[in-house]
Structure 1
Amino acid sequence: MALIDKLRAEPEIWELFTKREEYNPLFLDQYARFPYYFSKHSNLMEPTVSKYMMDNGLNPEYPDGKKFAVCLTHDIDVIKQGFGNCAFESAKSIIKGNYRNSMRYAFSILNKKKHPFRNFKEIMEIEDKYGAKSSLYFLALRPGERDFNYNLEEIANEIGEISDKGWEVGLHGGHGSYDNIEKMIQEKKLLESVSGKEVIGYRNHYLRFKTPDTWELLSKAGFKYDTTFGYANCAGFRNGTCHPFKPFNLNTSKEIDILEIPLVIMDRTLLMDYMRLDFEKAWELTKQLIDRVEQYRGVITILWHNNSMDGIFLKFYEKILKYCSEKNACITSGAEICNWWEKNVRDTN
Structure 2
Amino acid sequence: MAEFALCLTHDVDRPYKTYRAIYDALNERDPSQLAAFRPGHNPYWQFESLMALEDDLGVRSAFYFLSEPGLPNRPFRQWCNPRYWIEHLGRYDVESTDLTNIIQALDAGGWEVGLHGSFDSFDDRERLADEKAKIERALGHEVTGGRQHFLNLTPGKETWGHHRAIGLNYDSSLGSSTEYGFQHGYEPLRPFDDEFVVFPLTAMETALVEDGNFEAAWDACESLLAEAADNDAVMTVLWHPRLLSDDFPGYRELYRRLIERALELGAWVGPPGDLYERLDDPKVGAIEA
When the two structures are superposed, what TM-score results if normalisation uses the length of structure 1? 0.69
SS of structure 1 residue aligned to 2:187: coil
Q: State the distance in 1 between where 2:20 and 2:190 align.
A: 46
Corresponding position: 1:294 with 2:253: no
Of 79, 88, 111, which residue of structure 1 is paired with 2:15?
79
RMSD: 2.7
Of 172, 175, 191, which residue of structure 2 is paired with 1:227?
172
Letter in 2 for 1:129: D
Corresponding position: 1:194 with 2:141: no
Q: State the distance in 2 between where 1:331 and 1:196 align.
A: 25
Residues 207 and 230, structure 1, Cα contact 8 Å, conserved in 2: yes
Letter in 2 for 1:339: E
Aligned residues: 265
Letter in 2 for 1:218: H
**Shift in CA distance, 342/90, structure 1 to aligned 2, threshold 3 Å:** farther
Residues 209 and 216, structure 2, Cα contact 8 Å, conserved in 1: no
Residue aligning to 2:124: 180
Q: CA deviation at 1:108?
A: 3.6
Q: State the distance in 1 between where 2:279 and 2:55 align.
A: 23
Letter in 2 for 1:121: E
Letter in 1 for 2:95: E
Q: State the distance in 2 between where 1:167 and 1:75 align.
A: 13
- Which stretches in structure 1 are left out of the alignment for 5+ residues? 1-64, 95-101, 249-254
Of 109, 120, 130, which residue of structure 2 is paired with 1:165?
109
Residue aligning to 1:152: 94
Q: State the distance in 2 between where 1:224 and 1:323 align.
A: 29
Q: Deviations over 1:219-272 (max 9, x none)?
A: 111100111111222101232x12112115xxxxxx354111111010122226
Of 44, 65, 69, which residue of structure 1 is paired with 2:5?
69
Residue aligning to 1:88: 24
Letter in 2 for 1:204: Q
Letter in 1 for 2:234: V
> 1:173-322, aligned counterparts within 5 Å?
173-210=117-154, 211-239=156-184, 241-248=185-192, 255=193, 257-271=195-209, 276=211, 278-310=213-245, 311-322=249-260
Query: Of the two, which has the highest radius of gyration?
Result: 1
> 1:25-64, aligned counterparts within 5 Å?
none
Letter in 1 for 2:37: I
- Which stretches in structure 2 are left out of the alignment for 5+ residues? 75-83
SS of structure 2 residue aligned to 1:215: helix
Of 319, 325, 330, which residue of structure 1 is paired with 2:263?
325
Residues 190 and 283, structure 2, Cα contact 8 Å, conserved in 1: no
Residues 131 and 331, structure 1, Cα contact 8 Å, conserved in 2: no
Name the % identity.
Answer: 27
SS of structure 2 residue aligned to 1:78: coil
Q: State the distance in 2 between where 1:84 and 1:225 align.
A: 32
